[in-house]
C-alpha cells in the first residue's frame, strides 16, 4: 500500500522503548542492524511517561514500513522485549530532507551517527511526548510504571582479544558471505548450486539465514559474484569475505503448546511466531496428523537468550493461555549434511528437516519437500 511505502533512499525513524538500563546507542544499533541499514541511533537519558528507557533508530532505504515493523516484532535486548513504533512527526518519516544538526554534549541524551547518514535529534514525538510529565526515574527498580526490567544483575566478563587475531584470513578473496531471502532457499542452497552448475569448495553455516561460501580460487569467487542474474533471487545480501564483522542472528524453533483445536490455524500460529521475531516457517496441519498437542514454528531472532514464556490468545470473549518454549536441539540447514547421492537424484530434503513442507515463505523455485514430524515433548 502506498501509505506503507518509504522512499528508496529515504530515512524511517523508529521509536524504541523498554531498553535495559545502561543501554548505549552502539548497543541499540548492533541489536537492530540485522534488520536493515541503520544510519543513526540515539538513547535518551530520561525515561518515557511509563518510566521506561527509550531511544530512536533510523533505517535507510525502507520500502515498506509495515513489513519492517513486522520483522522487528519480538526483538529483545537480553531479557527486555522492545516496543517499537514509527516515530510520529519525525522529519525523516515525512519523506523530506533532513539536515544533521551539530552534535553537542548535552544532558538530553547520547546519539550515534553513521557515516554519510542523517539523523535528527530533535523531534516533537521523540522527546517531549515520549517523556510526558513523568520525572526521571532514579535507581534500578525492577518496575518502572509497567516496564518489565531485569531484577537480577549479572556481572559481565570482559576479555581483551589480541589485535593480531584474524580467523579465516586465508579465505579472503576466495569466499563470499551471503544472507538468503528465506529459509527454503537456505535449506536447498546446495540443490540450487547444482542446478546452476556452480562448483564450490565448501559451505559453512553462520547462523540465521547466512552462509559462508568458499571457492577453489579467487577467479571462481569473482565468477559467482558476477552472476547476479543467477543468485539475485537467492540472496538479500552477498559480499566478499574480508574479515568484516557480521550481524548476529539465529533461527529459533518454537514449540507452541496448548492452542485450542478450533484456533489451530496457520494465521494464529503466524501471529504467535511474529510476536517473537520474523516468521520463517509455519507447519501445514491436517486431519491425518497424529499429534496436535504441540506445534512448531520457526522465527528469525537477533538475540541469544532462549525463548520460554507464556502467551495469551484473545478470541471473542475468551482468553486462552498457551506456552511457548524454544527447542534446545542444535539445528543446521540440510544443505550442509545432505549426501551427494540424494542431491544428484533430486530427492526431497530428508525427513528431520524442520523446513520441510513450508507455506508462504518460499520463492517457489525449489521443489516441494516432505513435512517432518518431531513429536517433541513440551514441559508446562
For the chain, give me the number of helices (H) and strands (E)?
Answer: 10, 18
| Chosen domain end from 84, 109, 135 | 135
Order across the sheet with 235-240: list the strands.
202-207, 210-214, 175-180, 235-240
176 & 67 share domain: no
Domain count for the chain: 2
130 & 180 share domain: no
Q: What per-residue string of b and e applies to 214-228 under the rule 16 or more CB within 10 Å gives b?
A: bbeeeebbeebeeee
115 & 232 share domain: no
pLDDT of residue 359: 37
Asked if residue 95 is part of any domain, the answer here is yes
Contact 38, 56 (CB under 8 A): no
Q: What are phi and psi of 253, to 5 degrees?
A: -100, 115
pLDDT of residue 273: 93
pLDDT of residue 92: 63
User: How many other β-carbons are positioned within 10 Å of the β-carbon of residue 325?
Assistant: 19
pLDDT of residue 304: 82
35 & 97 share domain: yes
For 239-284, the pLDDT digits (tens) are 999 998 888 899 999 999 999 999 999 999 999 999 999 999 999 8
Quick one: cell of 269?
A: 500460529
211 & 114 share domain: no
Asked if residue 148 is part of any domain, the answer here is no
pLDDT of residue 119: 36
Write out the residue range of the structural domain in which residue 179 sits.
169-240
Asked if residue 49 is part of any domain, the answer here is yes
Order across the sheet with 278-281: list the strands.
278-281, 294-301, 250-257, 318-326, 308-315
67 & 192 share domain: no
Asked if residue 123 is part of any domain, the answer here is yes
Residue 231: exposure state from Cβ atoms within 10 A (0-12, 13-18, ≥19): buried
| Chosen domain end from 191, 208, 240 | 240
Question: Which residues, given as ranges, of the chain have pLDDT below 50?
Answer: 1-8, 97-145, 148-153, 341-380
CA distance 216 to 218: 7
103 & 178 share domain: no
Asked if residue 307 is part of any domain, the answer here is no
The Cα-based distances of 101 to 10, 26, 120, 122, 340 in angstroms read 18, 19, 7, 9, 58
| Chosen domain end from 240, 265, 288 | 240
Asked if residue 379 is part of any domain, the answer here is no
For 66-105, the pLDDT digits (tens) are 878 877 877 888 778 889 998 876 666 565 544 444 434 4
pLDDT of residue 93: 58
Asked if residue 31 is part of any domain, the answer here is yes
106 & 231 share domain: no
Asked if residue 10 is part of any domain, the answer here is yes
Task: Give the domain CATH number at 43.
Answer: 3.30.70.330
pLDDT of residue 95: 58
111 & 233 share domain: no
Amino acid at each position: 500500500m502506498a501509505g506503507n511505502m518509504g522512499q528508496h533512499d529515504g530515512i524511517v525513524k523508529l521509536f524504541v522503548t523498554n531498553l535495559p538500563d545502561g543501554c548505549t546507542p552502539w548497543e541499540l544499533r548492533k541489536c537492530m542492524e540485522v534488520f536493515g541499514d541503520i544510519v543513526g541511533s540515539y538513547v535518551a537519558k530520561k525515561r518515557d511517561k511509563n518510566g521506561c528507557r527509550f531511544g530512536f533508530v533510523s533505517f535507510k532505504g525502507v520500502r515498506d514500513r509495515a513489513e519492517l515493523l513486522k520483522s522487528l516484532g519480538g526483538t529483545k535486548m537480553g531479557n527486555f522485549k522492545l516496543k517499537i513504533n514509527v516515530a510520529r512527526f519525525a522529519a525523516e518519516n515525512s519523506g523530506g530532507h533532513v539536515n544533521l544538526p551539530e552534535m553537542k554534549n548535552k544532558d538530553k541524551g547520547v546519539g550515534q551517527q553513521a557515516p554519510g547518514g542523517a539523523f535528527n535529534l530533535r523531534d516533537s514525538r521523540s522527546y517531549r511526548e515520549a517523556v510526558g510529565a513523568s520525572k526521571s526515574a532514579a535507581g534500578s527498580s525492577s518496575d518502572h510504571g509497567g516496564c518489565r526490567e531485569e531484577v537480577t544483575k549479572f556481572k559481565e566478563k570482559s576479555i581483551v582479544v589480541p589485535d593480531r587475531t584474524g580467523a579465516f584470513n586465508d579465505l579472503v578473496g576466495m569466499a563470499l558471505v551471503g544472507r538468503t531471502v528465506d529459509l527454503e532457499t537456505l535449506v536447498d542452497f546446495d540443490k540450487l548450486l547444482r542446478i546452476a552448475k556452480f562448483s564450490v569448495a565448501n559451505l559453512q553455516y553462520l547462523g540465521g539465514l547466512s552462509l559462508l561460501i568458499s571457492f577453489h580460487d579467487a577467479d571462481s569467487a569473482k565468477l559467482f559474484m558476477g552472476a547476479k542474474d543467477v543468485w539475485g533471487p537467492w540472496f538479500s545480501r552477498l559480499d566478499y569475505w574480508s574479515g568484516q564483522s557480521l550481524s548476529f542472528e539465529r533461527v529459533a524453533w518454537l514449540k507452541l503448546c496448548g492452542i485450542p483445536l478450533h484456533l489451530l490455524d496457520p494465521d494464529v500460529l503466524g501471529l504467535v511466531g511474529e510476536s517473537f521475531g520474523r516468521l520463517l516457517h509455519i507447519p501445514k496441519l491436517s486431519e491425518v496428523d497424529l499429534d496436535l498437542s504441540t506445534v512448531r514454528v520457526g522465527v528469525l531472532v537477533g538475540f541469544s537468550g532462549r525463548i520460554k514464556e507464556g502467551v495469551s490468545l484473545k478470541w471473542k470473549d475468551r482468553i486462552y493461555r498457551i506456552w511457548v518454549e524454544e527447542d534446545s536441539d542444535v539445528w543446521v540447514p540440510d544443505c550442509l549434511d545432505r549426501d551427494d547421492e540424494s542431491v544428484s537424484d533430486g530427492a526431497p530434503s530428508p525427513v528431520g528437516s524442520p523446513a520441510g513442507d513450508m507455506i508462504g515463505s518460499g520463492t517457489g523455485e525449489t521443489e516441494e519437500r516432505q513435512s517432518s514430524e518431531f513429536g517433541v515433548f513440551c514441559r508446562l
